[in-house]
């Protein structure tokens, strides 16, 4: 088995030049993301509902695909388990789409629990890297994540109407700033 040849320096340079030539598109995309993020933050309930509907649709489609898959692999055995899993996805996705506020509540609680567990894992990982340099920053990061998870759990279900929209808006703004700065860096980079 032969290994593929590494890309030549001229191919990489050509690709970098093509990206640099389009720096303006990155700037425009970044600005668009930032604007959409502020729109999402201005309408957190609508953003939460749209996010819940989107997740519900993805789960529903995934369930339909799993049901089709169950019929396609009948000869492998375990047809019933594949079918049951697919039907559960279909029901869950359908319920979220039928009642997106309930879906947002469930998703919000899951996010809170996931953040709390991730915070605990990060704290343990940070403490485990002692006496190496920087372990304290990992612990601090874990504490912040744990605190955020506890805040979401403590305020649940009241916060379910805005958490998903808030996260969407903040994510769009952060992504937009990153994309904008990337485009501006490309503009200022010498070929």
Residue 14 inside a domain? The answer is no
Q: What is residue 11's predicted lDDT score, i.e. its pLDDT?
A: 73
Contact 57/93 with Cβ under 8 angstroms? yes
Residue 3 is assigned to a structural domain of this protein: no
Residues 6+ apart with CB under 8 A from 12: none
Q: Is residue 20 part of a domain?
A: no
CA atoms lying within 13 Å on the CB side of residue 129: 13
Number of structural domains the chain divides into:
1
- Identify whether 153 is part of a domain: yes
- The pLDDT score that the predictor gives to residue 79 is 85
| 59 occurs within a structural domain | yes
- The per-residue pLDDT for 2 is 57
Please indicate, yes or no, if residue 88 is contained in any of the structural domains. Answer: yes
Residue 119 near residue 138, CB atoms below 8 Å: no
* Tens of each residue's pLDDT in the chain, 191 residues: 555 555 567 777 777 777 788 889 989 999 999 999 999 999 999 999 999 999 999 999 999 999 999 988 877 778 889 899 999 999 999 999 999 999 999 999 999 999 999 999 999 998 988 887 888 888 999 999 999 999 999 999 999 999 999 989 999 999 999 989 988 888 877 65
CA distance 140 to 137: 5
pLDDT at 1: 57
162: containing domain: 26-188
pLDDT score for 143: 94
């Amino acid at each position: 088995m032969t290994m593929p040849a590494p890309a030549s320096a001229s191919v990489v340079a050509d690709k970098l030049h093509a990206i640099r030539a389009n720096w303006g598109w990155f700037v425009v995309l970044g600005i668009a993301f930032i604007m959409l993020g502020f729109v999402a933050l201005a309408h957190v309930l609508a953003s939460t509902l749209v996010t819940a509907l989107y997740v519900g649709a993805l789960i529903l489609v995934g369930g339909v695909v799993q049901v089709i898959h169950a019929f396609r692999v009948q000869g492998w055995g375990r047809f019933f388990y594949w079918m049951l899993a697919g039907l559960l996805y279909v029901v869950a996705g359908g319920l979220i789409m039928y009642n997106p506020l309930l879906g947002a509540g469930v998703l919000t609680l899951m996010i809170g629990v996931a953040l709390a567990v991730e915070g605990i894992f990060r704290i343990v990982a940070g403490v485990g890297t002692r006496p190496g340099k920087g372990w304290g920053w990992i612990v601090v990061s874990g504490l912040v994540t744990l605190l955020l998870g506890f805040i979401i759990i403590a305020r649940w279900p009241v916060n379910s109407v805005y958490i998903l929209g808030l996260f969407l808006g903040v994510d769009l703004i952060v992504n937009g700033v990153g994309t904008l700065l990337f485009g501006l860096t490309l503009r200022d980079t010498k070929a």
